[in-house]
Amino acid sequence: MNDKNFDSFVNQMGVKQLIRMFDLLPDVLFWIKDNSHNFIHANQAFIEHKGVKGIEKIIGKTDYDFSPAHIAEQFIRDDEKVLAGKNVTERLEMNMTQSGDTAWYATSKRAITNENGDTIGTYGITRHLEKQAKALSNVDAVKEPVDYIRQNFKHPFTIEELAEVAYLSVSALERRFKKYLAKTPKQFINEVRLENARKLLIETNMPISQVGDETGFSDHSYFSKQFRLFFGELPSDFRRNYYNNP
């Protein structure tokens, strides 16, 4: 079947029928959003994951209706990047399960364009990795150092100490992080600290300097600089913009 025949076949099927195929993937969450980040469709696995009875409870809602604020904020920011022309591909991340526990997921997102090439929304899929043995083996490869980072991010520790926890040399640890997380241990530590800082900025009235202290940044200017590099704005601006645009 050539491209022309394929396009004709797809047109005969109809978009709705194609989209409904995602209901056949029980371990994959699939959704479609408009330009304002409102859900306009989700597959059955997504509906069950959110703990609602039907698609009508999803349509018109945003991530803020289903996820803790700091997690929803990350989803929205990812959508904005995709709308701006960037792709999110197989990003390994921690997220919440339906029971409220945390687990590893891999997420990919793309923009939706109309016939004129205008971006009109986004779509994405997320896979729960613990339900997939091959992916889980990748997670296990960095489980010990990742767990250590998440449990100890508030305190100073060296890459050498992290390597000892994983029973690896520093170079082997670096290679493993680059292979399975596409980042260095230092980058991952920084991201964990910044994610937790963002959570405190949203969920507490803690002074910004204290937020830095509580998340492992002893140098307040360095904290502000890293926060802006990662999230695109200073901690003070992030907090103000969040509360001004709930």
CA atoms within 13 A on the CB side of 193: 25
pLDDT at 10: 47
Which structure tokens are listed for 64? 């803020």
CA 213/CA 206 separation, integer angstroms:
11
CATH number of 141-244: 1.10.10.60
Which structure tokens are listed for 119? 């971006």
pLDDT at 115: 83
Question: For residue 64, how many other CB atoms are within 10 A of its CB?
Answer: 15
pLDDT at 240: 87
pLDDT at 202: 87
Q: What architecture is domain 3-131?
A: 2-Layer Sandwich (3.30)
- Residues 208, 235 contacting (CB under 8 angstroms): yes
Tell me the average confidence (pLDDT) per consecutive run of 10 residues in the chain, 246 residues long: 54 71 85 93 90 90 87 85 88 66 80 89 84 52 87 93 92 90 89 90 92 94 92 89 72
Task: Give the domain ranges of the chain.
Answer: 3-131, 141-244
Phi, then psi, of 148 in degrees rounded to 5: -65, -45
